[in-house]
Amino acid sequence: MECVEEECNCGSGCQNQRFQRKQYASVSVIETEKKGFGLRTDSDLNPHDFIYEYVGEVINENQFRRRMIQYDEEGIKHFYFMSLSKGEFVDATRKGNLGRFCNHSCKPNCYVDKWIVGDKLRMGIFAGRRIKAGEELVFNYNVDRYGADPQPCYCGELNCTGYIGGKTQTERATKLSPQTIEALGIDDGDGWDAAVPRRPKKKKQAEDDEEYVNNVEPKALDEKGVTTVMATLVQCKEKWIFVKLLGRIQRCDDERVLNRVVKMHGYQILNPALTTWKEDYNVVLQILDILNKFPRITRNKITDSKIDETVKTLTTCGDEKVQTTATALLKEWSTLEVGYRIPRKKRDENSTSTPDRLDHFQRRESNRDEEKERRKSRSPEPPKGPAAPTGPRNNIPQRNPGYRPAFRPPRPFQHPLPSGWFIAYANGKTYYYNGNGQTTWVRPTMPAYQPPQPKPMSSDQRLQEIIDSITKNTTPKEKAAAAVPQQPANSEAKKEKKKEGHEKWRSLSEEKKKKLYENTVRRRGKSPRDQREKKKKGKN
């Protein structure tokens, strides 16, 4: 099951959208000796690598029958029908892609798997083992792809049956896909005898798969097998296989495994199954028993899947045992509390901006912001430099910005920065800058380039510079006015005042002049009379 962009918070970092993004392997079409065209890989492949999607027209069973006859009458020797689901087929005869050139082999190195993408079922070709570059890509047509009549097989393997499809090969191999065999807990298709039988028995040629599976004791379900079981339940259309898979879950009492089943969309997968098999009360009771075994902490998953509404309809189905079990289950669910969840941010369909991928880290980021505020109050703010440099810090792929390691080892001791370099911070990251405006993520090891400083000017040079600036910025009239020394504005008033004082002094009488003179001298020191009296006293 692939993630859908509307429901996935990983954004462009999601690694579960291979079909939607067409992340095909590098392949090329080749011409073989007997099998016509084939498909070859141009690079090494690991097990379960996605190679190509099998694309074609989706038709129903009636169209499938008519086209087989039509293509036979037209002389088309090669058929490209693949079974998609019960009553649906993919016809890649006239409309398809490079996946149609993948040939058949009785010992294949690839397999075909069904994936749910949104609300559609899609077919993909995957690597079954490690495949080296230049090797031809082949898978088994017996279950997934077949023609109207048996065709000779030219795969050249030791276990070759001689024909592709038809009665001969169908009798010699199981019709179940490898994924279904693994989900049923009876090993792979080549290991039927390696399963744990109730009594020693080998699969007969004409024996039905259901009859054989009923006589084999499946393995106990573990955590690793839950993913395969839940994926097969989604795709399963045959009732007997569905019941067998439910039986594996029902017999499991390990709480860790049941938790894994709930996590792998257990409620969402079992909800449509109750509607599909509602007329078979044995299957309904089997599903209700599994729901009763699920660990219950909150009511969130039950409400989201709307399985409680489906179980509510079973309380009036008419079967007494089903009604009693459904009523008891609903009563237990009603006692559960709804756990608090951070609401998902709604996206604007018309907006072209990148959605916030850190929405599910909201609570953790708020705690970090509070911690940063506390640190700022205790320590001074680091110096702010120019804008941080753009681009990656190094060639190593950058981590998800929402990722924060639980433990960060202490940083080793670093020597002081070279002269001319300074440290700054941007969004929790450290960068370095110098006085020339240069910034870098890498810690510098050499001093920053500093332009030569101009020599200091002497006092004569400064004076000459001031004179030049004045002479250059003045007009000829201003220069002439500056050459003439200007006297203070109040000089004439002072002269007049001094002249008036002389005239007034001359007009006074002699006694008045003497009196003024004595008062002036007394203020500055002793009068002449006092000095004469002091001399007389000294002589006596």
Q: SS3 sequence, 441-494?
A: CCCCCCCCCCCCCCCCCCHHHHHHHHHHHHHHCCCHHHHHHHHCCCCCCCHHHH
Residue 71 to residue 77: CA distance in whole angstroms: 8
Distances in whole angstroms, Cα of residue 346 to Cα of each of 8, 82, 195, 349: 13, 40, 50, 9
pLDDT at 196: 37
Q: Which of 272, 284, 175 is nearest to 233 (CA)?
A: 272
Q: Report how far residue 58's alpha carbon sits from residue 230's, in angstroms, rounded to the nearest whole number.
A: 25
Predicted local confidence at residue 406, as pLDDT: 58
Helices 320-334 and 281-293 cross at an angle (nearest 10°) of: 20
Cβ proximity of 42 and 133 under 8 Å: yes
Per-residue pLDDT of the chain (540 residues; tens, 9 = 90+): 898 887 788 888 898 999 999 999 999 999 888 888 899 999 999 999 999 999 999 998 888 888 888 888 888 877 788 887 777 888 888 888 998 889 888 889 999 888 988 888 888 999 999 999 999 999 887 644 444 456 778 888 887 877 775 443 334 345 667 777 888 887 544 343 333 334 434 444 444 566 666 666 677 888 888 888 888 888 887 888 888 888 888 888 888 888 888 888 888 888 888 888 888 888 888 888 898 888 887 888 888 888 888 888 888 888 888 888 989 988 888 888 887 666 666 666 565 555 554 444 455 566 666 666 666 655 555 455 566 666 665 555 555 555 555 566 666 666 788 888 888 887 778 888 887 778 888 888 888 877 666 777 777 888 888 887 777 655 555 555 555 555 555 566 667 777 777 777 777 777 877 777 777 766 555 555 666 666 666 555
CA distance 128 to 108: 8
CB atoms within 10 A of CB 12: 10
Task: Residue 127: count other Cβ atoms within 10 Å of its Cβ.
Answer: 20
CA distances from 483 to 106, 474, 486, 537 (A): 116, 12, 9, 64
CA distance 53 to 96: 10
| Spatial contact of 288 and 271, defined as CB atoms under 8 Å apart | no
Q: Give which of 269, 253, 180 is closest to 218, Cα–Cα.
A: 180
Amino acid 503: pLDDT = 73
The pLDDT, as a whole number, for residue 129 is: 92
245: number of Cβ within 10 Å = 22
Residue type for position 419: S
pLDDT at 336: 85
Residue 223 has phi, psi (to 5 degrees) of -65, -35
